Every structure is written in structure tokens, then in C-alpha cells.
């Protein structure tokens, strides 16, 4: 089939590669425009999808908006049978959704209708969900409201981080989209409307959520840490200068005490109820390090109170 692919981050790359590998003709890739990066922010860096598309020799489009007749005309000229959307970043107006004869398929990382919206991977872990999934959905004008063609469930391990789940869903999703396109090409991809019950929205992660609140129960602190790892990273202020220290991994631990208090000299920290043991941390501008490495250069004896 002739396919337009629309995606931006690393999460999207396996699906683009899968589509090309299955022999489909990708007639164009839409992605975010190159963005400033580097220490001075002077270098314009293309998105991961942009880089891979150029490697495959696929034309790349980076519009700031898809609204208006000019954007629709450009999209229409590509003559795509179907569009595949994976974490693109721009809203597709009806004028775009209606162009491909077989519609626009979106790969969404949740068990729809649970966790519609911007941050389904992080929100599932932060809520303590035991499973999530990846869905191929036919897009409509509403936010992740379209009918589902294929869905695969994935167990969330008790210590799994958002980064680990992101990577797993990315590759499972690539295979799922490949199978969905094969079924669509044969006329055998059936779509089921989402139920009206169980709708939950995965709102964008706000900066204020990343600071660890030790007064919350240990399970909630643990879920926040792994749900925000590796980015943006749950953090606490440390030292005289109150520098931010991210916690990338932790585990539930035994013990009680005043919230934020070190219960031993191994970074076991009391929470509102229970405790967590911090096992991987990252200081600003430094590489991630084990708790043992962190403690080699930072004194956190029993009784230390973290803010």
C-alpha cells in the first residue's frame, strides 16, 4: 500500500522501520521540524523519525500546522491509501483525516479507553496499573476516541520503569501495526467501538508532579519514581545548595519513621506509610549512578531528613 507515516520520537521509529521492511511504499513522512539542541541551543537537530526517513530516502515534511487548504492539498497530492500516526505531536484536523481512502491509523500505548491522551505510559505506572497495552485505532476528530482494530495486552512488572515499558511497547506496537496493515490490505481489519465505561485521561506530566512527596504512602512514591524514570525524573533537593537529585530506581522496603527520614545508611527512606529504598540516582549534569556510588561522595547517615 501507499502509506504516509506521521511520527516524531524514538517510540515511532520501530513502526516506520517495520512498515518499510514489509514492502509498503512510504510516500512521505511527517514529523516535527528540527529543533535547537546542544549546550548553546544553536544546532538544529532533526527528530529521530526524520533521521531514519532520510536514511530510507523518503520525502520528509515538517509543517507547523496541518490546518488549512494548503496543508490538505499537499497531503492529498501524496495519494496515500492510509496514514499511520505514531506519537506525531500535531492534531490531525478532519480535512486531513478524510483524505486517505482507508483512513488514518493511530498506534496508542494503552488499553483504550483507559488512558486516552498525552502520557499513557507514565500515567499507567504512576497509578499502579498491573497491565497496559498497545492499540491500533482508526482516528476520529475526538481525542483517542476511535474504534480499535487490534490490541495487545502487556504486563507491567512491579519495578518496571516508564522507560522500560516505553521500549517494550514500541517494538510490540511496530509488529502490531504491521499485522494491522496486512489485514487492512486484505480487507480483513475489523474495528470495534470503544466502550463508554472506563474512560480515563492521561494528562501531560506537570513539573510540580516530579518532586517527591515523602508524606505519601510508599507504594505511591515508588510508582511515581518508576513512572517518571528516566524522564523527567522524580527528584528531591539535597545538600546545602538544595541541588536536584533524580531517583531513577527504587524498591519498596520495610520500616517506618517520619516522612523523608533515612532509616539506615543505605538510602532507605521513610514515607507516609512504609518506606522505599533508593537504588539508582542521578545528580544534575552527571550520569546515573548506583546508590553505593552516590553514597561514596555524599553522606546520608541514618536520621538524615530529606526535604
Q: Contact 307/242 with Cβ under 8 angstroms? A: yes
278 is in an annotated binding site: no
111 is an annotated ligand-binding site residue: yes
Distance CA 259, CA 255 (A): 11
**Residue 68: CB atoms within 10 Å:** 12
| Contact predicate 229/195, CB 8 Å | no
DSSP SS3 for 13 = helix
Annotated ligand binding at 169? The verdict is: no
* Closest to 125 in 3D by CA, of 4, 250, 24, 254: 250
Residues 6, 66: Cα–Cα separation, whole Å: 12
**107 labeled binding residue:** no
Instruction: State the angle between helix axes of 48-56 and 13-21 in degrees (0 to 180), rounded to the nearest 10.
Output: 20
Where is the binding site, in residues? 110-113
Where is the binding site for (6S)-5,6,7,8-tetrahydrofolate, in residues? 110-113
Amino acid at each position: 500500500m501507499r502509506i504516509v507515516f506521521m511520527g516524531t520520537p524514538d517510540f515511532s521509529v520501530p513502526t516506520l522501520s517495520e512498515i518499510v521492511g514489509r514492502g509498503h511504499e512510504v510516500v512521505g513522512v511527517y514529523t516535527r521540524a528540527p529543533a535547537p539542541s546542544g549546550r548553546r541551543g544553536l544546532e538544529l537537530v532533526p527528530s529521530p523519525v526524520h533521521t531514519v526517513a532520510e536514511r530510507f530516502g523518503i520525502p520528509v515534511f515538517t509543517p507547523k500546522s496541518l490546518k488549512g487548504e494548503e496543508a490538505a492539498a499537499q497531503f492529498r497530492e501524496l495519494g496515500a491509501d492510509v496514514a499511520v500516526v505514531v506519537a506525531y505531536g500535531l492534531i490531525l484536523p478532519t480535512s486531513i483525516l478524510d483524505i486517505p481512502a482507508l483512513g488514518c491509523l493511530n498506534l496508542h500505548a494503552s488499553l483504550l479507553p483507559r488512558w486516552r491522551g498525552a502520557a499513557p505510559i507514565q500515567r499507567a505506572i504512576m497509578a499502579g496499573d498491573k497491565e497496559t497495552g498497545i492499540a491500533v485505532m482508526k482516528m476520529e476528530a475526538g481525542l483517542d476516541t476511535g474504534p480499535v482494530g487490534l490490541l495487545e495486552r502487556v504486563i507491567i512488572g512491579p519495578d518496571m520503569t516508564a522507560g522500560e515499558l516505553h521500549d517494550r511497547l514500541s517494538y510490540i506496537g511496530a509488529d502490531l501495526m504491521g499485522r494491522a496493515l496486512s489485514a487492512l490490505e486484505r480487507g480483513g481489519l475489523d474495528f470495534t467501538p470503544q466502550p463508554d465505561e472506563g474512560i480515563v485521561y492521561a494528562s501531560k506530566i506537570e513539573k510540580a508532579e516530579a518532586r517527591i512527596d515523602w508524606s505519601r504512602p510508599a507504594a505511591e512514591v515508588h510508582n511515581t519514581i518508576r513512572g517518571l524514570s528516566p524522564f523527567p525524573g522524580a527528584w528531591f533537593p539535597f545538600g546545602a545548595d538544595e541541588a536536584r537529585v533524580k531517583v531513577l530506581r527504587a524498591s519498596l522496603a520495610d520500616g517506618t519513621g517520619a516522612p523523608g527520614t533515612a532509616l539506615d545508611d543505605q538510602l532507605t527512606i521513610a514515607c507516609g506509610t512504609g518506606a522505599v529504598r533508593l537504588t539508582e540516582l542521578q545528580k544534575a549534569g552527571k550520569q546515573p549512578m548506583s546508590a553505593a556510588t552516590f553514597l561514596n561522595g555524599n553522606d546520608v547517615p541514618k536520621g538524615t531528613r530529606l526535604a
